[in-house]
Structure 1
Amino acid sequence: MVSYEKKFVPVMITPFNLKAKVDLDVVSTLIDFYLAAGVKGFFANCLSSEMYSITEDERLELTKHIVQYVDGRVPVVATGSFGLTIEDKADFTRRIYATGIDAVILITGHFANVDDSDEVLLRNFERMLKLTGDIPLGMYECPAPYKRILSTEVFKKLIDTGRFVYHKDTSITHENVAAKLAIAKDSDRLEFYDAHTPNAMFSLQQGAKGMSSISGNFYPEILVWMCNNANDPSKQEEVQWLQSELARVDPQIHIAYPMSAKYFLRKRGLPVRTISRAHALELTPEQKQALDDIHSSFLHWCEKLDITPVDVEELMLPKVPLDPPI
């Protein structure tokens, strides 16, 4: 996923039908929506996808469908480090890579227990690299099963293997993000994405390749605008204003996530049901009102920044087939 532009890469949610089965038709519609918003890649089979609540076969089927529907228009990455042993994780990594994705993401918390040392983590990563040939890999400091933040020393050692092309960071603090970006700049392969929306302006201006945050499942157009304009000297007043707005609402969109995102996308007109395997409870009236208020803020942001929201009604129109060749 190497390029010189800033990119927004959404962490895709998984729509379910009324029987709580993965709804691949709605997945296709969501892909159309994201692409219309201007995203430059997809992170499939991730925490937002409820990857711990779907089966192994569903992970593979979902990822394969996304790859086939995207059809090379933008890169696709997906999590692959599932299984009890390193051998199991390597096996699933090979299987999900075979779906056609561009890189397999490894969850840092999958390679050491919470009380294990960095030496244990590095030994397990080393075994994983030996078992996965030349498959392009990525790292993700996922909050589950627990958040394993990589130290700068570990981060550098992993980058120096030459196997990693993608990193999704959840360091949160500007100090930690800046330290990792200083290391990442020396790699001609690694792309660094910040998962923390309140960091967007800072990370993009410090050299991150882009953002990959859950807010893209509410208003991807806004994150695309931020990626496109964070480094534009003529737009700094607007960038700073938008960053303050994104930080203001960010705690609220995390409540009852990913159900909150599904409610928001449905409010925007997408056929996403408020059904989740990861969050079984219905949203409360107070939670819905908070999301309704954020939707009003989103429309205000678009108006102020001259952003055209995706026309979901037009997006939903039946596709007119092309005339067959004569």
Structure 2
Amino acid sequence: MQKKFVPVMITPFNLKAQIDLNVVEQLVDFYLDAGVKGFFANCLSSEMYSISEDERLELTKHVVRYVNGRVPVVATGSFGLTIADKAVFTQKIYDTGVDSVIMITGHFANVDESDDILLQRFEQLFSLTGDIPLGLYECPAPYKRVITPAILKTLLATNRLIYHKDTSCDVESVRAKLAVTAGSRLEFYDAHTPNAVASMQMGAVGMSAIAGNFYPEILVWLCNHVNDADKQEEVRWIQAELQKVDPLIHIAYPMSAKYFLQLRGVPVRTISRAHALELTPDQKQALQQLHRTFKGWCERLQIREVVTAPLSH
């Protein structure tokens, strides 16, 4: 089965730092043109902690409406102080029309709280949300709560989970979780680009990494060819290339992605609520070099680079 690349969407803002829904549409077109197989809206890359509850709903609703069933859309729903609050917001996000509502694992227990407490709270949320299809996301904020294969197995038995975005960055952890999810309807996505090939060759459905906000065509190519016997040399080569640049794209993210997309002609302004500072000249230079490198990757792998109209001010 062909693997899927699902981008974690960034949020474009206008000059008043409000969500620019027109550019959201152009961004959706850009991703779809690159061949993505789904969208994760209202996630950490979307600056979900820096926008209001109403904006989270408006953004998600707009993405769902504009995508119009072409590919599935998921979005984070576990916001609110209490589990009851989280259940209410989960319903609101589901009512936007998403295919699955994603739960942030770090929202269900504090750093020093046990897995038993985590499970109790998940079970409480499940009981309050009817039959809404749910997913898990080991989001780095408020802190990264990597779930164990045992927890995943217990939650999977409820038959509510259809999505998991893994950030363990550990091949053995991924292997153990994939063993637990084998044969279930849960779609397992690795968020860690350096692990992408290993994860997908072990059975992950695909990948969902921030690198897709820089060069989605490359990750789509990787998903399409990761198991092609005659492409393994290129697969290993591009995986090594992606691994090499991975630390760079995390610097000043998501501003780095917005600047890179500008270099590519995507009309996204370098305005961020999560990252207040401007990029430094050195950071910009490094991203310009990466843009040249990306063009070389496209050439070697014979990938058509998505071209877009530049931003009009």
TM-score range, shorter chain: over 0.9
RMSD: 1.1
Amino acid at match of 2:2: E
- In structure 2, which of residues 293, 298, 301 is the aligned counterpart of residue 302 of structure 1? 298
Unaligned runs of 5+ in 2: none
TM-score (structure 2 length as normaliser): 0.98
- In structure 2, which of residues 112, 117, 121 is the aligned counterpart of residue 115 of structure 1? 112
Alignment of 1:121-160 (within 5 A): 121-160=118-157
2:11 is matched with which residue? Answer: 14
- In structure 2, which of residues 161, 166, 184 is the aligned counterpart of residue 164 of structure 1? 161
User: Matched residues in 2 for 1:200 and 1:138: separation?
Assistant: 20
2:229 is matched with which residue? Answer: 233
Number of aligned pairs?
312
User: Matched residues in 2 for 1:270 and 1:222: separation?
Assistant: 17
Q: 1:71 Cα shift? A: 0.3
User: Matched residues in 2 for 1:157 and 1:289: separation?
Assistant: 48
1:62 is matched with which residue? Answer: 59
Mapped pair 1:176 → 2:170: no
Q: Which string of whole-angstrom CA distances, capped at 9 and with x for unpartnered residues, describes residues 148-174 of structure 1?
A: 000111111111111000000001011
Amino acid at match of 1:86: I
Amino acid at match of 2:242: L
User: Matched residues in 2 for 1:35 and 1:176: separation?
Assistant: 31
Amino acid at match of 1:162: N
User: Matched residues in 2 for 1:291 and 1:157: separation?
Assistant: 43
Q: Which string of whole-angstrom CA distances, capped at 9 and with x for unpartnered residues, describes residues 17-41 of structure 1?
A: 0000000000000000000000000
1:186 is matched with which residue? Answer: 183
1:264 is matched with which residue? Answer: 260
Q: Structure 1 segments of 4 or more deviating over 6 A?
A: none
User: Matched residues in 1 for 2:110 and 2:2: separation?
Assistant: 36
Q: Which string of whole-angstrom CA distances, capped at 9 and with x for unpartnered residues, describes residues 288-319 of structure 1?
A: 11111111110000000000000213x99xxx
User: Matched residues in 2 for 1:48 and 1:41: separation?
Assistant: 15
Unaligned runs of 5+ in 1: 317-326
Q: 1:186 Cα shift? A: 2.9
1:99 is matched with which residue? Answer: 96
1:321 is matched with which residue? Answer: none
Q: 1:61 Cα shift? A: 0.3
Q: How many percent identity over aligned positions?
A: 71
Alignment of 1:217-256 (within 5 A): 217-256=213-252
User: Matched residues in 2 for 1:79 and 1:35: separation?
Assistant: 21
Alignment of 1:182-221 (within 5 A): 182-187=179-184, 189-221=185-217
3-state secondary structure, aligned to 2:274: coil
User: Matched residues in 1 for 2:2 and 2:162: separation?
Assistant: 15
Q: 1:222 Cα shift? A: 0.3
Q: 1:5 Cα shift? A: 2.8
- In structure 2, which of residues 275, 281, 287 is the aligned counterpart of residue 285 of structure 1? 281
